[in-house]
Amino acid sequence: MAIRITDECINCGACEPECPNNAIYEGGVPWTLAGITYAPGEEAPSGAQDFFSNNCYYIVPDKCTECVGFHDEPQCAAVCPVDVCLPDPDHIESAKELLSKVDYLSMIDIERLRT
């Protein structure tokens, strides 16, 4: 959960389709994880609760792997025209932890397809 979008986001929407984990949402829009829809501002399963925004695009920490497992660098940061996709010093994860998250996200997707 190491990338966040700051309040300086200009809502261009360029980052959202680039995310391999569908971790980016437009401001005010409910987010989903493992087929469950979470209300705006609702706490994530990990306990993260300070990521939601009504005003600009936001990243769900439980779904962001910093693009580990897919790309060499965070794709949201690569395409953002105003450089507001930044590492979150409050949510640093090791490469091993990020790879575990990749496995977790792919596993729950498979489980969801089975149900």
Q: Enumerate binding residues for ligand SF4 (CB under 6 A).
A: 3, 5, 9-15, 18-21, 23-24, 56-57, 59, 64-67, 74-76, 79-80, 82, 84-85
Q: How many CB atoms lie within 10 A of CB 13?
A: 11
Got the DSSP string for 2-59?
-EEE-TT------SGGG-TT--EE-TT--EEETTEEE-TTPPPTTS--S---SSS-EE
Phi and psi (nearest 5°) for 67?
70, 5
Element (H, E) at 106: helix 95-114
Minimum distance, C-beta of residue 99 to ligand SF4, in the bound complex (Å): 13
Nearer Cβ to ligand SF4, position 36 or 82? 82
Nearer Cβ to ligand SF4, position 40 or 98? 98
Minimum distance, C-beta of residue 43 to ligand SF4, in the bound complex (Å): 19
Minimum distance, C-beta of residue 41 to ligand SF4, in the bound complex (Å): 19
Minimum distance, C-beta of residue 27 to ligand SF4, in the bound complex (Å): 9
